[in-house]
Amino acid sequence: MKQLVHPLTRTQIESPPFWALLYEAAGVADDALRHIRDTELPALEVIGVTDGDVVAFAAFAVTADELTLEYIAVDAGTRGRGIGASLVDAIRSTHPGLPLLAETDNDAVDFYRALGFTVEPRPTDPRWPGRPRYRCTLGASSA
């Protein structure tokens, strides 16, 4: 199912529903979430799906060589409807010709595999001891 994906406003990014999604995506304490919201996100492209409130978002960086998906989350009540796939499609369609990279752990690796990403093991990250890490790569789209 295709979703209406659009850039999120600062007001939407500062909303409680977005905060919950950011926690889902990052899994860190409130101080670190504030840092992500106030320092990292303004330097990234942030898109989302809304249904009154923000129900999903993705934040990514664009360089001349690649797209890097830094954060992605879909509200638990709306999962399974293709919203995550719609976010990935939107990122790729606005920047055709660039590969899309992401890093994840066991929580989302199956999501990336289902979308056709190549998944490779990465070294353990000291911030998440005992959690396997993976680099996920999806080749460039043709638009």
Mind listing the pLDDT tens digit for each residue in 80-135?
999 999 999 999 998 889 999 999 988 899 999 999 999 999 988 777 777 889 99
pLDDT of residue 127: 74
Give the residues across from 50 on adjacent strands: 54
CATH number reported for the structural domain that contains residue 29 in this entry = 3.40.630.30
Reported as a pLDDT band with limits 50, 70 and 90, residue 2 is: low
* Domains contained in the chain, number: 1
Question: Which run of H or E residues covers position 138?
Answer: strand 133-138
Q: Would 81 be classed as within a structural domain?
A: yes
For every residue of 23-63, which 3-state class applies, written as one string? HHHHCCCHHHHHHHHHHHHHHCEEEEEEECEEEEEEEEEEC
Average pLDDT of the residues in 75-79: 94
- Residue 126 CA to residue 123 CA, distance in Å, equals 9
The number of beta carbons lying within 10 Å of the beta carbon of residue 65 is 9
- Residue 18 CA to residue 126 CA, distance in Å, equals 27
pLDDT of residue 3: 65
pLDDT of residue 1: 43
Residue 72: DSSP 8-state: E
The letter for the amino acid at 32 is A
Average pLDDT of the residues in 69-76: 96
pLDDT of residue 12: 97
Q: Would 143 be classed as within a structural domain?
A: no
Q: Would 13 be classed as within a structural domain?
A: yes
- Residue 67 CA to residue 61 CA, distance in Å, equals 6
- Residue 28 CA to residue 137 CA, distance in Å, equals 24
pLDDT (tens digit per residue) in 14-37? 999 999 999 999 988 999 999 999
Q: Structure pTM?
A: 0.92
Average pLDDT of the residues in 8-18: 97
Residue 86's domain comprises 6-138
